[in-house]
Amino acid sequence: MSVRAVTGPAPVHPGAGGSIESLFASQRRSAMENRAKFTLKARLAMLSRLKATLKRRENDIIEALYADFRKPESEVRLTELFPVYQEISHARRHLRSWLRPHRVHGSLGMFGTAAEVRYQAKGVCLIISPWNYPVNLSFGPLVSALAAGNTAIIKPSELTPATSALIKDIAEETFPRDLVAVCEGDAQVSQALLDLPFDHIFFTGSPQVGKIVMAAAAKHLTSVTLELGGKSPTIVGSTANIEHAARKIVWGKFANNGQTCIAPDHVYVARDQAPALVDALRREIKRVYGQTDSQQKSGPDYCRIVNRRHFERLSALTDDATSRGATVLEGGVRDPGQNYFSPTILGGTTPQMAISQEEIFGPVLPVIEYDDISSVIDAINAGPKPLAIYIYSEDDSIREYIIERTSSGGVCVNNNVVHFLHPNLPFGGVNNSGIGTAHGFYGFKAFSHERAILRDKFSILGLLFPPYTTRVKQLIDLTVRILG
């Protein structure tokens, strides 16, 4: 089946199922009716069905992402499909243990009781996914939502219309609408969804929009998981292996044309290593993407900026920097007709430039020299807490020095980006870069209510109940003194 053509945002209704309100009502009924029916077997079957459909539609997914912003096939397989397949396999392998009630130890004051924690589905969940990894960041959270036993509505981005339409096709092919549904459209559709009392909202996007989502959720006291972004710094120390660092930085920065929330935003490099790092970055860019500007532009492994607005935003950031003294050390080639922006390295940026203050989210990498690592830590701590910090150093004391004195959602040592793929690590930000975590058990937990259950077997707490006679007061005093 070929990808459907999409000419514009969908209206404020989800299609044949009626209005957004009626869709939400049907999912709420389903969530309540199926609370006891979403057994382990049923959940495993849902996950298997999703994986089977994705496998069957792989070529359509590759086609759609190429149509939207020329994402290379291999990059689609590695960054869009593999994370979802891994999420499904990991959940299927561990879901039995996740669902098992967890016995918890009591205290002397709880003598005579038994207690446990059960993970219960929250109910109807909203997943608002972004345009940069639309398949990964729509179906990855859906895996966690289904594993936890919820129903879900997905709102994909209108900026990748071919992929958005395909996501809807895949959902409709795989699940009944009262279990999983997709609402296409623009900000008007998002607002209509946010006006509803969902039981959980999982949002991936910018901190600015994250604040709007959180404010809307507050009206209904809805819990949220916010995967945001920010300016994730990379630090290349004086003991770093420069060739290895350059290879990984080029991959992490320029994959998906830099449109990755955890891409290295900028690089701090020890001054004595700066010339070697810049040379190594240049060589690696040419090795990966082509020796000449024309080879890079025509090469099959480099995608495009998603639309003209983002292309112009990146151009404005770069032009502002160069007009105020920054230097293009590599790249800088642009073609607005294709939204093409070549892999670009900047030197000489200053904190006052817009590119130093805004998340770049594109293929422009400022390289900033430093003399004292404490000045780098001060610069990181002066801004909002980033989603990730990347440290390249062979000195363990320096690595620990940086980790202990900074705060971020995650850290990679001598690598970047790949912590997203680790199924047993929590992925998420902190404050401005995000709230809550995802992936594996952490994603299952995000979509679950941790329900406390206590059973009284032969508790003696009744001896402390009123009326507060002299004897009861003495027992209370004794309890407080010994057990408090």
Residues 6+ apart with CB under 8 A from 209: 203
Report yes or no on 39 lying in a domain. yes
User: Tell me, what's the pLDDT at 445?
Assistant: 98
Report yes or no on 472 lying in a domain. no
Question: In terms of domains, do 222 and 308 share one?
Answer: no
Number of domains in the chain: 2
User: Tell me, what's the pLDDT at 12?
Assistant: 40
Q: Which candidate in 158, 184, 227, 359 is catalytic?
A: 227
What is the chain's pLDDT, residue by residue, as a tens digit (484 residues)?
333 333 333 334 454 446 999 999 999 999 999 888 899 999 999 999 999 999 999 999 999 999 999 999 999 999 999 999 999 999 999 999 999 999 999 998 899 999 999 999 999 999 999 999 999 999 999 999 999 999 999 999 999 999 999 999 999 999 999 999 999 999 999 999 999 999 999 999 999 999 999 999 999 999 999 999 999 999 999 999 999 999 999 999 999 999 999 999 999 999 999 999 999 999 999 999 999 999 999 999 999 999 999 999 999 999 999 999 999 999 999 999 999 999 999 999 999 999 999 999 999 999 999 999 999 999 999 999 999 999 999 999 999 999 999 999 999 999 999 999 999 999 999 999 999 999 999 999 999 999 999 999 999 899 999 999 999 999 999 999 998 8
Question: In terms of domains, do 339 and 215 share one?
Answer: no
Question: In terms of domains, do 198 and 241 share one?
Answer: no
Question: In terms of domains, do 346 and 287 share one?
Answer: yes
Q: Which candidate in 125, 261, 303, 412 is catalytic?
A: 261
- Active site (annotated) includes residue 75: no
Report yes or no on 24 lying in a domain. yes
- Active site (annotated) includes residue 183: no
Question: In terms of domains, do 334 and 211 share one?
Answer: no
Closest CA to 310 of 127, 160, 202, 134: 160
Question: In terms of domains, do 253 and 181 share one?
Answer: no
Question: In terms of domains, do 216 and 349 share one?
Answer: no
Report yes or no on 374 lying in a domain. yes
CATH number at residue 319: 3.40.309.10
Report yes or no on 475 lying in a domain. no
Question: In terms of domains, do 269 and 184 share one?
Answer: no
Question: In terms of domains, do 163 and 273 share one?
Answer: no
Report yes or no on 12 lying in a domain. no
Q: Which residue segment(s) compose the domain that 354 sits in?
A: 233-428
Q: How many whole angstroms separate alpha carbon 64 and alpha carbon 307? A: 15
Report yes or no on 474 lying in a domain. no
Question: In terms of domains, do 247 and 354 share one?
Answer: yes
Question: In terms of domains, do 181 and 321 share one?
Answer: no
Q: How many whole angstroms separate alpha carbon 151 and alpha carbon 361? A: 32
Question: In terms of domains, do 89 and 215 share one?
Answer: yes
Report yes or no on 129 lying in a domain. yes
User: Tell me, what's the pLDDT at 484?
Assistant: 83
User: Tell me, what's the pLDDT at 18?
Assistant: 65
CATH number at residue 82: 3.40.605.10
